[in-house]
Structure 1
Amino acid sequence: MHWIDPDSLPEASGTVERFLLNPHGEVDGFVMTREATAIVVHTPPHLEEELTRHVKPGDCVSVHGVKPRGADLLAAVAVTTKDGRRIVDDGPDHAREHPHHAHRKMEVEGTVRLALFGPKGELRGALLADGTIMRIGPKEAEEIADLLVADSKLAVRGDGIETRFGRVIQAKEAGHEMAALKPLKHGKPGPKDKHDPKPEHGPKDKHKPKHEHDAHA
């Protein structure tokens, strides 16, 4: 969003409650409270270092951003700190690499506090009442959208990371309780699914040489 002039956008202010993490363990936003209302603010991961250096939980900040349709989210283009420093999204550093965090198998069960979204408003997970951040892809999120609304019971198992900013789990299985977990489908087939032969393709493959010969005849 570096092409957008921040001053042309609406401004919202509030107190930073906590940072949010993406599946790589990078800070990609924060929860901001204003008059007892929680606002999810998305910031691009390449702003993590500058954002966490100048902003701390408990700070009052202002955000210039856009609100995607159908999502309780503010996608920040600029964040102004309590000291008046403006942190602006000038676009990603293409040479930047993901941080190297230790991953481990993790499972969690609890109550959803807030749904979490990508910068374009796509559903991408949930923040649980205990502070755990659960992330999944948008296609997987569509499968369990009813479990990602506030006050829903949610149990997940997957790949987890713990950082000084919190705990995030990339869910592989989900359900309303641990005893009812189901594997999440993926938007794209994995290598095994992509190349495994299927019985119904047998006849087509069997005559493939003939079709190729006809095509070049």
Structure 2
Amino acid sequence: MHWIDPESLPVVKGAHERFVLNPHGEVDGFVMRAADEDVLVHTPPHMEAELTRHIKPGDVIGVHGVKPRGSALLAAVAVTPANGRRILDHGPDHDREHPKHDHHEIATEGTVRLSLFGPKGELRGALLTDGTVVRIGPKEAADVADLLAPGARLAVRGDGIETRFGRVIHAREAGKGLKSLAPLKHGKPGLKHEHGPKHEHGHKPKPKHKHKHNHA
């Protein structure tokens, strides 16, 4: 349960447009249109069932939330759908498991509509204009922040999931085009060059002591 009293926060109202997915294919937020602006709202994945049950595209909803410093994000404390039923964060269900989806490699490119952020304001990917959600770890996202900015051209290849709310790609490679993709390091052994062509980045390791005695 969130420790902040929602009544202590201002409410932002807007028309719900689409849900946003995390790398597991779970809903962890949505985009709404408020005062001619797109507003990215973050919600924890354990709120997915209630949110998707009570919110439909075009519904005018209210969000009590906090804005992390330096990010275009509203982290929801409470969401009030058009039916007036307030949805609160009651804390995670520890027995809850990630949904089962078919995973397959996807490569795509497009224009960034919105940068995506985590609940603390950390850059975590991008929403493309075609609705594709691209997710990247926070350290890797910081290294390619220019590719994740609104209006930027972005191409990615990675682990993809198709759901009834759209598709999400957990990117392993990124670039300005599909012909210029470079690996993103996720800190997981075996993923760096698992798919796609090899890329030469940085310096190859030099053989040890190979020329140690070759000088007169």
* Partner residue, 1:185: 185
Q: Distance in 1 between matches of 2:122 and 2:178?
A: 26
CA 1:192–1:85: 2 relative to 1, 3 Å: closer
The gaps in structure 2 that reach 5 residues or longer are 193-204, 208-216
DSSP 3-state at the match of 1:111: strand
Could you tell me how far 1:83 is from its partner in structure 2?
1.1
Q: Distance in 2 between matches of 1:191 and 1:108?
A: 22
Decide whether the 8 Å contact of 2:124 with 2:136 is kept in 1.
yes
Mapping of residues 9-88 of structure 1, within 5 Å: 9-88=9-88
Q: Distance in 2 between matches of 1:158 and 1:115?
A: 18
* Partner residue, 2:148: 148
Decide whether the 8 Å contact of 2:134 with 2:169 is kept in 1.
yes
- State the TM-score, normalized to the length of structure 2: 0.86
* Partner residue, 2:92: 92
Which whole-Å deviations, capped at 9, do the CAs of 1:59-109 have from their partners, x for residues lacking one? 000000000000000000100011110000111111111000110010110
Percent of pairs identical after alignment? 67
Mapping of residues 191-206 of structure 1, within 5 Å: none
Calculate the aligned-residue CA RMSD, in Å.
1.8
Decide whether the 8 Å contact of 2:78 with 2:89 is kept in 1.
yes
Could you tell me how far 1:29 is from its partner in structure 2?
0.6
Which whole-Å deviations, capped at 9, do the CAs of 1:21-73 have from their partners, x for residues lacking one? 00000001100101220000001000000100000111000000000000000
Q: 1:73 corresponds to which letter in structure 2?
A: L
Could you tell me how far 1:10 is from its partner in structure 2?
1.7
Which whole-Å deviations, capped at 9, do the CAs of 1:125-144 have from their partners, x for residues lacking one? 00001110000110110110
Decide whether the 8 Å contact of 2:2 with 2:90 is kept in 1.
yes
Which whole-Å deviations, capped at 9, do the CAs of 1:119-174 have from their partners, x for residues lacking one? 00000000001110000110110110010001000000000000000010000000
Q: Distance in 2 between matches of 1:49 and 1:63?
A: 17
* Partner residue, 1:110: 110
- State the TM-score, normalized to the length of structure 1: 0.86
The gaps in structure 1 that reach 5 residues or longer are 201-217
Q: Distance in 1 between matches of 2:92 and 2:180?
A: 40
Decide whether the 8 Å contact of 2:172 with 2:191 is kept in 1.
no
Could you tell me how far 1:190 is from its partner in structure 2?
2.9
DSSP 3-state at the match of 2:29: strand
